Structure 1
Amino acid sequence: MCGIAGWLDFSQDIRDRRHIVEAMTVTLAARGPDGQGVWMDKHVGLGHRRLAVIDLAGGVQPMVHDGGTDTTVALSYNGEIYNFAALRAELEALGHRFTTRCDTEVVLRGYLQWEEGVVRRLEGMFAFAVWDARRQQLLLARDFLGVKPLYYQRIGNGVVFGSEPKALLAHPDVRARTNEDGLREIFVLARTPGRTPYADIHEVKPGEMLRFDREGMRADRFWRFEARPHEDDLPATIARVGELLESAVRQQIVSDVPLCTLLSGGLDSSAITAIAHAATAAQGQPMRTFSVDFVGQSDDFADDGPHKSHDAPFVRDFVRHVGCDHTDIVLDSSELAEGSLNRTVLHASDLPLNLSGDMCSSLYRLFREVRKESTVALSGESADEIFGGYAWFHQPAVHQARMFPWLTMTGSVFHGGDILDRGLRERLRLKEFQADSYATAMAEVPRLDGEPAHDARMREFSYLHMSRFLQFMLDRKDRMSMAVGLEVRVPFCDSALVDYVFNIPWDMKAFDGREKSVLRAAVEQRLPRSIVERTKSPYPSTQDPAYERALRARVAAFLDTPNHPARPLFDERTVRRMTTRPMNGDRSLHYQRADMERVLSVAEWIEAYDVELAC
């Protein structure tokens, strides 16, 4: 896994401004600790930071095919192509000769053979830039679910781009600025594809290609969700899901560096780990696994609403059942509220947190410990989105609500709308924004003629989650892992698996009335009964009161800073009241804590990045 950056400007010769591309590239050093490269041409510069995973000696980037004057093709690439061996064989049969064993050269030679058509042949997670001197064109492309990030901003007669906003912000013509649209993206938990909280910085959408030439920018979607009739009966569907998942996992355990899985004791991570362990143990190497816990939580765990059960007993059951090489990472909850750790998490994200802050901090700490032993990890993201794992998938009242399902309890990121300054609330009109965003998303949902109404509604649920919710999870995983140079792969984001499951009728997906019924049935023979029967519990969150006490102190310190640039965004009385409310174990405090975390995150982002508030 790597980081990419670059700059295109048709209005000037930028070869003597190499230092700018170098400065952009060095901001991504954590993503690629194993090497750096910069390549310059008259109007374009490409930068790359490398995390070596396949062909450690080869694969140096940017990778350049130099066929002579005005025929150069240069590539800066981030990701893993899981079908690269098959594509390489196909390209060799077409006459291409390879000098490395890496997937990067497969992408480059694939472009030389098929030009933009190469993206439709790639199976994996990727974001890359190709400069084609023959056509005087820069191509930016991103994988179909957006597992790998890619940001850009139009400047002058060209564009700057990078794996993270920090790379763009290192360019002298890019300024950190937000406006009302940017604040709406922060304060509503429903990602608008292509938008960011920065007013002028955009994302390449999942499954999108952007072409930049002297005439401007053109966008093209190379992958979309499609609605098709499902022909398999239930036994065949269960078998097919098992086959597709096993194929995805086996493809994704290919690595020239130490590999592990992230094990929570839940259905998703246990399924992936069981398949991976079976493959590696057959070669005499048990799979390394890691889980996260908090000091004292085993003794004092309580059902807080979202978290129904403690992970540790289920992890132990799995390890006894399978025999993997397991390590528990036990964290001190008080550390998670420390300002230094939270500044590190903010720098990794470049954006305010949309999800609970302690989860991001603990995930960063987990990844930092895992990276001491492994360079690649497999994780279970997206199973809940495609198989229907969240509680609201199974609540008829939510099915009737005409809003994003995950917002039916909260209405927005903030559970109390009066946290925001009243004048700002009136200008942002968050309810109208949510309604418009929901209508836009619903208009995109692929339809199947004659589909029963309930199946059609649950197809909408699936699409809303995959296109508007999953990105939060993937971004958190990418930023926290790449901040420590750890590559995390996500087998449930395999394109063939996602495409198949998207078209399974809901009554079949939930055939026994439980969450993720088809997945559970497909993998139950591999797992201990306790995990097969376990009710979903999300990524663990600390329940130590010391964490919230430290959090409240930080919020109070923010409120006591009269000239803080973020103060105008919030209603001081409401926020201060949250810091004094009795900590009596009320479940509503779980949501209040999340609100305080987000207030701090927004405030620290605006201050640390000197964000101009253009609103």
Structure 2
Amino acid sequence: MSGITGWVDRHRDLTRESAAVAAMTARLVRGTHGDRQWSAPHALLGHRADAPEPLGAPPAAVQEHGRTLAAITFDGVLDNATQLRSALDPPGPLITDAQLILHGYLRWGCAVAERLEGLFAFAIWDARSSELVLGRDRFGIKPLSYLPLPHGALFASEAAALGAHPLIDNELDAEGLCSLLAQVRRPGHSALRRVREVRPGHLVRLGPDGVREHRYWALEAHPHTEDLASTIATTRALLEEVIAREAAACSPAAVLLSGGLDSSTLTALVAQRAGPAPRTFTVSFGDSAATVPDRPFAQAVVDHLGCEHHEILVDPATLTHPPTLEAVLAAKDFPSPFGDKNLTPYLFYRQVAAETPVALSGEAADAVFGGLISDQERASTEHRTFPWIERARAFGLDNGIGNDLFDQDLLRGIDFTGFCAERYQEARQEVPHLPGAPADDRRAREIDYLHMTRLYEQAVNHSERLAAAAGLQVRFPFSDHRLFRYLYNVPWRMKSFDGRDKSLLRTIAADLLPASVLDRPKVPFPITYHAGYKQSLAERLREVLTDHDAPVRPLLDLPKAWQVVDDPGRLDRGGWLGRADTEMVLQLDGWLRARRIRPAL
């Protein structure tokens, strides 16, 4: 787990520009120490590491006859390092994953990406062709942004780190604001003007011929030929293989256990395949937790498997500490309406990191096993936008979650509705389908694809960024691309063969878990109901509204925002959803201030 930065310019001597990349590296929240830099006349590569990485995993270079061929800076972990090392058969030791990737690039070129297994983001400076090559894992779990320049580029794990460079103008235009409010961006684009993101499963090559994208992995639609029994057996075999591999990364194994089906099944398979029962970690708020607390279900799993269990208590009072608010906003890199759904995991991960450097998470199982599709959504022929926006509209939130306090004229002016519709159609056109597939199977496949490729920002990516900032390396076995590729082509009737969601996963877990856990309804991540937290939201909103220099103030429907201050009971509208409106305003204001971003709407 680390962060990477860099600057390349084919026409500029960067020998004396190391301070600029050092400033970018210092802005990273990923990694805690070990800032390193590799330099050449036309390339500067920066890196910040965490302790678990061998030798701090500094940028690496390969030379031949005293001439640099290429250099790399790398964030992530390879699951198939041993196989890569064997395939390369190097004359000397290749200690780090970064060195393996670089030697692989020199042998196979950009085709090296297809050989990589794991979570990764890397930047390679190819001195032979004066080309920068940026790569990202198949689901984009590791972040990587860049800014193309006339003769090169800037890049960084975090957009905030890019903002530390003097060539970045830090402007938020209408499309950027739409992407923040919708929580969906145009593929390959950032919320900041001119800043781009390496798309999941892609390489970006920036060289003398300009910017070129290469897609090295994509989901494909194939006929499913196995019967139900064989499908269950294949799914279980795939799961056991990936879980055994991931569990080997931390010894003894550690699992983030909520007591839900996904994390409980993960825990049971770790116990079965990786040796002794793993250490488990569950978040708790005491008496202010959600109405369906995780504790009894998690405890049932612990008792059943004999886990070494740790219940991590998050004091609701710490959720309002300014340093925590600032740390979480920096970790996410962009504002969101999720409030304590961001704060609580960060504080939880920070305490887990004191016990183990690596932990496994059950995130992504919903998307992989079809757990995010209701029968109504699957049968519906009326769908004009993303499923999660449609669900928000069912609660009377016409503009989606967190956007009710923004000025309606502003939203019309930036064409927020049109932006969402365009992104939705764009995403739908990507979905691989089988010719002649039934309508409900096409819809189920579409919803799975949209969640995996567009909602990850609120799930797996969300967890990875918060954990990285807290010093914890989280791995996501259900995000294995082979598992998802297989299950993507399993028909919906098999995924819900017994009339329930995630039927395949429940069947696999049937002989591993207590019945109470198998039958537990899905519940969201718990929120705090502590009165002090809601009071803090109202007070912070009042501060924004009374500060005429607050950058978010011109974007708001001020009378409606004042109603929340005058009647904090409005925060309870729709349960947690009323709170999200205020959370988004506060997050956006803090982000604009901290990053000195200028709205250019």
- Which TM bucket (shorter chain)? over 0.9
Matches within 5 A, 1:81-480: 81-92=78-89, 96-255=90-249, 259-282=253-276, 286-297=277-288, 301-302=290-291, 309-354=292-337, 356-390=338-372, 392=374, 395-396=377-378, 400-411=382-393, 414-415=400-401, 419-480=405-466
Deviates more, 1:362-371 or 1:520-529: 520-529
Shift of 1:361: 0.4
| Deviations 1:291-334, CA, capped at 9 Å, x for gaps | 11112136xx43xxxxxx22111010000011111101111223
Q: CA deviation at 1:52?
A: 4.1
Which segment drifts farther, 36-45 or 539-548? 539-548
- Asked if 2 retains the 8 angstrom alpha-carbon contact of 1:565 and 1:606, the reply is yes
TM-aligned CA deviation for residue 74 of structure 1: 0.8
Partner of 1:67: 64
1:515 aligned onto 2:488: no
Quickly say closer, same or farther: Cα 1:414–1:403, change in 2 above 3 A. closer
TM-score (norm 1): 0.93
Matched positions, count: 597
**Relative to structure 1, is the Cα distance of residues 465 and 444 closer, same or farther in structure 2, using a 3 angstrom cutoff?**
same
**518, 524, 527: which one pairs with 1:541?**
527
Distance 2:575 2:515 in 1: 33
2:45 equivalent to 1:46? yes
In structure 2, C-alpha distance between the alignment counterparts of 1:445 and 1:209, rounded to whole Å: 20
Contact 1:387 1:516 in 2 (8 A): yes
Q: Distance in 1 between matches of 2:176 and 2:323?
A: 26
Distance in 1 (CA, whole Å) between partners of 2:249 and 2:195 is: 34
Q: Which residue of 2 aligns with 1:2?
A: 2
| TM, length-normalised to structure 2 | 0.95
Checking the alignment, whether the CA contact within 8 Å between 1:14 and 1:42 is kept in structure 2 is yes
Once residues 61 and 421 of structure 1 are traced to their aligned partners in structure 2, the CA distance between those partners, rounded to angstroms, is 47
Q: Cα 1:258–1:527, aligned 2, differ >3 Å: closer, same or farther? A: closer
> In structure 2, what is the equivalent of residue 305 of structure 1?
none
Counterpart AA for 1:478: E
2: distance between equivalents of 1:118 and 1:413? 42
Match of 2:25 in 1: 25
Q: Which runs of 5+ in 1 are unaligned?
A: 303-308
Q: Distance in 2 between matches of 1:49 and 1:586?
A: 41
Q: Which residue of structure 2 aligns with residue 599 of structure 1?
A: 585
Whether contact under 8 Å (1:578, 1:592) holds in the other structure is no
Say if 1:523 and 1:418 are closer, same or farther in 2 by CA, change over 3 A.
closer
What is the Cα deviation at residue 512 of structure 1? 1.2
| 1:66 match: secondary structure | strand
User: Which deviations, in whole Å up to 9, do the C-alpha atoms of 1:266-309 show, x marking residues without a partner?
Assistant: 11111222222334434xxx4221111112136xx43xxxxxx2
* Preserved contact between residue 398 and residue 408 of structure 1 (Cα < 8 Å): no
Cα 1:180–1:258 shift into 2, 3 Å: farther
Deviation at 1:591, TM superposition (A): 0.9
Contact 2:288 2:529 in 1 (8 A): yes
The aligned residue for residue 306 of structure 1 is none
Partner of 2:134, secondary structure, is strand
Q: Structure 1's 20 and 396: CA in aligned 2 closer, same or farther, altered over 3 A? A: closer
Counterpart check, 1:524 vs 2:507: no
> Contact 2:123–2:135 at 8 Å: present in 1 too?
yes
Does the 8 Å contact 2:76/2:119 carry over to 1?
yes
SS at 2:83 equivalent: helix
Query: What amino acid is aligned across from residue 19 of structure 1 in structure 2?
Result: A
What's 2:36 paired with?
A: 37
What amino acid sits opposite 2:281 in the alignment?
F
Structure 1 counterpart of 2:351, one-letter code: E
C-alpha distance in 1 between matches for 2:231 and 2:142: 29
Alignment check: 8 A CA contact 2:402 2:580 kept: no
Two-structure CA RMSD over aligned residues (Å): 2.0
Deviation of 1:414 (Å): 4.5
The aligned counterpart of 1:501 is 487
Identity, % of aligned pairs?
38
Q: Distance in 2 between matches of 1:341 and 1:378?
A: 24
Deviates more, 1:62-71 or 1:371-380: 62-71
Query: Which range moved further: 222-231 or 517-526?
Result: 517-526
Q: Quick one: which amino acid aligns to residue 205 of structure 1?
A: R
- Runs of 4 or more, structure 1, over 6 Å off, are none
- Amino acid in structure 1 at the alignment position of 2:510: E
Q: Quick one: structure 1 residues 559 and 17, their matched pair in 2 at CA, closer, same or farther if it must change by over 3 Å? A: same
Q: Which whole-Å deviations, capped at 9, do the CAs of 1:506-561 have from their partners, x for residues lacking one?
A: 11111112111111112222212111111111211112232212111111121111
What SS is found at the alignment partner of 1:290?
A: strand
Cα distance in 2 between the residues matched to 1:315 and 1:424: 46
Q: Is the 8 A contact 2:248 2:274 kept in 1?
A: no
8 Å contact from structure 1 (residues 151, 164) kept in 2:
yes
| Contact 1:357–1:597 (Cα < 8 Å) also in 2 | yes
In 2, Cα distance between equivalents of 1:71 and 1:124: 27
Structure 2 gaps of 5+ residues are: none
Shift in Å, 1:338:
3.1
Q: Does the residue aligned with 2:168 lie in a helix, a strand or coil?
A: coil
User: What is the alpha-carbon distance in structure 2 between the residues aligned to residue 390 and residue 396 of structure 1?
Assistant: 10
Does the 8 A contact of 2:72 with 2:125 survive in 1?
yes
